[in-house]
Structure 1
Amino acid sequence: MTTAVRTAPHHRNLTCYTDYACRLPECSERYRDWQRNRARAVADGTWQPFIDATPVREHLLKLYAAGLTPHRVSVLTGIDWNTIRLYTQPAVKQGRGMTRRTTVEFQAKILAVQAAPTLPGRVDPTGTRRRIQALSAIGWPLKELGPHIGIQPDNVRRILVRSQMVYGATAQATMTAYNELRDSRPRRHGVSKIGVARALRNAKQHRWAPPKYWDQHPGAIDDPHFESMYRVTRREIVAQDANWIMTTLGLSKAAAAERLGVDKSYIEHAFRDHPEYAIEVAA
């Protein structure tokens, strides 16, 4: 019978040595350095032992209730989000329970994070969606935006297709990321050429407006009642208007054309190009 060997998720701290039996030379040396420093601190009377993690867990739960996510706390503290997550829930797949003890330094970093009291719990997602879409329209893949916003990559797509509301903290974090990235080139941030091309193609297919478009309409990016006309042609507008007139008022194509100031043939061409608005009624 062969016993599976767990692989350390990273090699940046002592856990790879103590929890995963990692014996890479650099990791072993890191552990020996820690032991030497500990012995020296104990002798000097400056050693700070591990402390109860309850205050950390309670503070994290308050932050989560206020709308912050483990990813956002990770961005604010520089601590790996998986480490933060273990203070409020166990890592079932890795066989590790919830973290019960911590260091004074770790506790200080977590307690220093405060949820802005002015941020509402949940807000309309319009502005958040449009900012994500605008960044995608200049070449940012959705999965690359998660770390900049402070949420999981899968949650970025979820905001676009399913969320009815978003956390106020997420909306604020998205706004910050938007302002930081809107004038940047994704390639200079490590995004592959293929990734940029796919993002541009997807944004074009969905007609997502870039930042420059929203600059022309101050305040509109957060307005759920503002209808973006980015890449919308006059013919499509006529098809929409004709559809509304004919459906609501029961008029013919000729009467609708007269109201819109176009020929009936223009409406027919508009319906042909945009069949989703086409209506078959009496001419």
Structure 2
Amino acid sequence: MSTQTAIQRAAYNRWCRRRRHLIAMGQWEPFVDAEPVRQRIRAINQAGMSTTVLTERLGLPPTALEHVMWKRHGVASSQVRRETAEAVMGYWPRLEDFPAHALIDATGTRRRSEALFTLGWTQRFLSGRVGVSERSFSRALAKPRVTADLARKVACLYDELWDRPPYESEVAATPASRMRLHARAMGFVGPLAWDDETIDDPSAVPQTDAVEPVVSEGGNLAARWLMGEAVVLDRQARREVLQHLFEWTDATAEEIAARLDMSPEAADRQWHRIKAQALAEGRRVWRRVYVARDRDLNQNEMGEAA
């Protein structure tokens, strides 16, 4: 039995069970007004999903919606089965429901991209990650509609990057800084201004009173970050924060790496480079607080603990 046949048979069995139940309760009204259903289908079509795909997603027979949408003998149907109406009126397509090449509203894709721009993620980096040229990506963001495939890729990338600025290994400091300045000049808002449930809704407005992590001119970014202020650390400030956490806290390399969105190995290598540079300058940097260990110290660690 094919998948489509199984879906149709299951839908028919549900209909029969409901029909018997409603007849027994004296509430059997098999048909309802078709116009609200027709308007709903048109709205879903406008969102980018064809009637054929909608029929498949709802598990309805292939011709279930035809008489609702198209006239027969010059007259559009005035009634539709209640079960069909309930299925249509209770459904709105999610991003993953659209076929890959369906053209859908670009609002969510544009908002997610602009939010990442405010953090310093460049258009070149984002376009590379979603697998299109930078020029094509730029053109897509300027259009009212994008393919569902691109929208899904951008949404996935947004879920990965929304809560952290780029490292220099991903986007160099200068392009990242330029992108943040450009985003600010264009009035883009960051991820904290959007709710996941409404970011795709064209009528939704950003919550601009949300505290956004931004790079501010002047001041000690490392100190401000350590005090809990929402700032984006540049390369030097990140190094200062990492040194402070290793030197003055008992946090493990894994805990420090988690706070800075680094791998434990990268955090540990950076700490060793800081110590080597200090030694070359005639200074010593070491962990100044007691760190409990479940193993014997090696010679270098004994020196640090002395």
Could you say which TM-score interval applies, normalised by the shorter chain?
A: 0.3 to 0.5
Computing the radius of gyration over CA atoms, which structure comes out larger, 1 or 2? 2
TM-score, with length taken from structure 2: 0.34
TM-score, with length taken from structure 1: 0.37
Q: Which of 1 and 2 has higher RCO (CA within 8 Å, sep 6+)?
A: 1
